[in-house]
Structure 1
Amino acid sequence: MGALHEGHLSLVRRALKENSHVFVSIFVNPTQFAAHEDLDSYPVTWEEDLAKLKKLEEEYLESAKSMSPWRPSSIRGIFAPTVKTMYPTLPPTSDIAGHGSFVTITPLGSELEGASRPIFFRGVATVCTKLFNIVQPDRVYFGQKDIQQSVLIKRLVRDFHIPTEVRVVPTVREPDGLAMSSRNVYLGEKRREDATVLSRALFAVLDLYNSGVLQVKRLRSAAFDVFREDVTRLRSDGRIGPSGQIDVDYVAMSHPDTMGLIPDDEELNPNIGGILSAALIVSPVDNPKTQQELNQRSVRLIDNVILEPKVDVRVRRERRQQAAARHAASVYAAANGEPTGIPKGQTDEAQSIFPFKCL
């Protein structure tokens, strides 16, 4: 949506490494903003965005010269459509019951971020469907920071048989851990420092998980402990008043493939892992003293960490080798008219490794 930062640029770098032709889309999509949200004030930095993309491409082309004799990939174009192009028949609406053609993904689109922003994912799914239809990319790149959005787009592509591959790139963070976001510019100096509690809480849970804790309740509680300790410290330092300026919207543990919520009374499957995601609302500072503080508004920040499966790398490698061997044996048997050893209606585990049809 523009206002490019290093997180966005990391997606472009990844695309340049993996494709010969790269196109960047920049479009502030009005249908994912509710009436009370920041569409009118969302940062539009067109000239700065173009300069950043040009510099990135120049640096990439220069580094690619010494790496390969072949012509390196490049940014072939920037797709920056107008609102009329993307929504030709009706003006965009922020009314959840508004008339028009929209794409919804349920129940994923109404949970977590969708619960707080009920039209957000409807707008995201709709505009991405339009972008995919117009551009027809072989691959699309999304950031892990918006993990629910990434999972939703994967679901969209699968359910609508869209011939594109969705790739998710790790979150890019500031040196102090804050996930990069276009909305960080709204924070100001004081709130910018306070907002790092979000990543610190998530990393505390990640450390606890890596120590062997699997109980969802204990993991989520660890995040809330960090939030409470931080608010208490800020109050004792006189940084915030009794009402506080940091509100936790949610802290959720989800299945890594579906974003389905995992209840507190369950344990994570160590062979699957999970996603811990959280959202904070940072309110304006108490007793504003500068013009910048007087103009502040509430800022909503989201972040997440992936709790990786604990299956030993060696075990995973052996499983892949065994699955590959079974797959090769079944292909050989089928070619020679012999029984494959796979019961009718059962899916061979190797299909996840060889997702193509052998001819």
Structure 2
Amino acid sequence: MDKYNIPEGVQVFDRIADFRRWRRSILLQGQTLGYVPTMGALHAGHISLAERARQGNDHVALTIFVNPAQFAPHEDLSSYPRTLQADLDQISRLPVGTVTAVLVPQVSEIYPNGIELDVSKQIGAFVEIKGLSHQLEGGTRPHFFRGVATVVSKFFNIIQPEHAYFGQKDVQQCVCLRRLVEDLHFPLQLHICPTQRESDGLAMSSRNIYLTPSQRKHSLVLYKMLSSIEKNYKDGERSRDKLLADAMDIFNAEEKQVAALHEDWTMKLDYVSIANPRTLDEEMSDLESGFIASIAVFLGKTRLIDNFLINCEL
């Protein structure tokens, strides 16, 4: 890591064994560790997780790792932003001691048997979460949560944190990981932190950098649809079909604008969902106890997701 400018007070590791020696040293001192997993391309959402972790722990460790196992062969693994120095620069702007360790492991260490993007060719140990990973995001990305559950299990084993912090924007991931921690008895507490947003409401995401100016303007359709569901629910609407229909009216109007103004790209709805916050069941007959409203939209080739927790918590 000599070629990188390392922030003051931060130790950067590229080997698991070196990180584990550091982890053991703070354990022997009786100090706690909070963990924030990332794939890099850090933004204010990641930074807010690190700040939250520092409030409740003596040390905070980040991992920066673009996980091949959660990408299908046709997806954007090769083009996913890898910006380690910029990420370290982001960390350097925090008060010294906010983040004390960063692990940037090699793919060959995380997947010692290699890792094929084609699931049928993969060799080694993998983790699946049945019942929560086939719907919503799993409909478009059927192997995504298998990859997430596998790499998070690996990092929970490597990092051994007392507390781990995830952002609500990836809400289905959060539901899956709660079940992972519960079912596999990981000795840690999971914290789901609110989605960080731009001033106009767009959820912060590493993929936002792919948006053209025109796509960025129309990307607010996700926030508008979710806001409609939330407002109508607060106004007393309890029909799932009506809540979704009103949100779809907003999407259809935006889609017509895109079609009229832009010939070089299209906007397409992947899904809009109202689901139970624990089971992700979409056939909810009673909305009184609350639900997750979530949306995925393609703007050109960029796929964005967002969600609101309405009258419920994770």
1:108 aligns with 2:132: yes
Q: What secondary structure, in the 3-state scheme, does the structure 1 residue paired with 2:93 have? A: helix
Amino acid in structure 2 at the alignment position of 1:256: P
Q: Give a deviation string over 1:113-157, Cα, whole Å, max 9, x none.
A: 011101110000000000000111101000000000011111000
Quick one: which of 174, 190, 200 aligns to 1:176? Answer: 200
- Are the equivalent residues in 2 in contact too, given 1:96–1:118 (CA < 8 A)? no
Q: Give a deviation string over 1:262-317, Cα, whole Å, max 9, x none.
A: 35xx231x2x200011100111xxxxxxxxxxxxxx0111000111159xxxxxxx
- Are the equivalent residues in 2 in contact too, given 1:34–1:94 (CA < 8 A)? yes
1:149 aligns with 2:173: yes
Report the counterpart of residue 278 of structure 1 in structure 2: 295
**1:261 CA displacement:** 2.0
Amino acid in structure 2 at the alignment position of 1:130: K
Amino acid in structure 2 at the alignment position of 1:239: L
Amino acid in structure 2 at the alignment position of 1:35: P
Q: What secondary structure, in the 3-state scheme, does the structure 2 residue paired with 1:108 have? A: coil
CA–CA distance in structure 1, aligned partners of residues 191 and 279 of structure 2: 16
| Uncovered stretches (5+) of structure 1, i.e. residues with no partner | 59-72, 284-297, 311-359
Report the counterpart of residue 246 of structure 1 in structure 2: 267
Q: What secondary structure, in the 3-state scheme, does the structure 1 residue paired with 2:109 have? A: helix
**1:103 CA displacement:** 0.2
- Are the equivalent residues in 2 in contact too, given 1:216–1:262 (CA < 8 A)? no
Amino acid in structure 2 at the alignment position of 1:301: L
CA–CA distance in structure 2, aligned partners of residues 229 and 169 of structure 1: 32
Amino acid in structure 2 at the alignment position of 1:91: G
- Are the equivalent residues in 2 in contact too, given 1:275–1:307 (CA < 8 A)? yes
1:207 aligns with 2:228: no
Q: What secondary structure, in the 3-state scheme, does the structure 2 residue paired with 1:231 have? A: helix
Quick one: which of 187, 203, 206 aligns to 2:211? Answer: 187
**1:239 CA displacement:** 1.4
Report the counterpart of residue 120 of structure 2 in structure 1: 97
* Superposition TM-score, scaled by structure 1 size: 0.74
**1:57 CA displacement:** 2.9
Query: Larger Rg: 1 or 2?
Result: 1
Q: Give a deviation string over 1:308-350, Cα, whole Å, max 9, x none.
A: 159xxxxxxxxxxxxxxxxxxxxxxxxxxxxxxxxxxxxxxxx
Report the counterpart of residue 65 of structure 2 in structure 1: 27
Report the counterpart of residue 310 of structure 2 in structure 1: 307
Cα distance, 1:3–1:212 mapped onto 2, change above 3 Å: same
- Are the equivalent residues in 1 in contact too, given 2:50–2:98 (CA < 8 A)? no
Cα distance, 1:275–1:92 mapped onto 2, change above 3 Å: same
CA–CA distance in structure 2, aligned partners of residues 300 and 56 of structure 1: 30
| Uncovered stretches (5+) of structure 2, i.e. residues with no partner | 1-38
**1:94 CA displacement:** 1.3
Amino acid in structure 2 at the alignment position of 1:280: V
Identity %: 43
1:119 aligns with 2:143: yes
**Higher relative contact order (Cα pairs below 8 Å, separated by 6+ residues):** 2
CA–CA distance in structure 1, aligned partners of residues 118 and 245 of structure 2: 36
- What is the total number of aligned residue pairs between the two structures? 274
Amino acid in structure 1 at the alignment position of 2:85: E
CA–CA distance in structure 1, aligned partners of residues 154 and 78 of structure 2: 22
- After superposition, residues 42-81 of structure 1 pair within 5 angstroms as 42-58=80-96, 74-81=98-105
Cα distance, 1:244–1:86 mapped onto 2, change above 3 Å: closer
Report the counterpart of residue 10 of structure 1 in structure 2: 48
Report the counterpart of residue 318 of structure 1 in structure 2: none
Amino acid in structure 1 at the alignment position of 2:306: D
Amino acid in structure 1 at the alignment position of 2:291: G
Amino acid in structure 2 at the alignment position of 1:55: R
- Are the equivalent residues in 2 in contact too, given 1:105–1:156 (CA < 8 A)? yes
Q: What secondary structure, in the 3-state scheme, does the structure 2 residue paired with 1:118 have? A: coil
CA–CA distance in structure 1, aligned partners of residues 168 and 280 of structure 2: 13
**1:232 CA displacement:** 2.2
**1:256 CA displacement:** 1.4
Report the counterpart of residue 165 of structure 1 in structure 2: 189
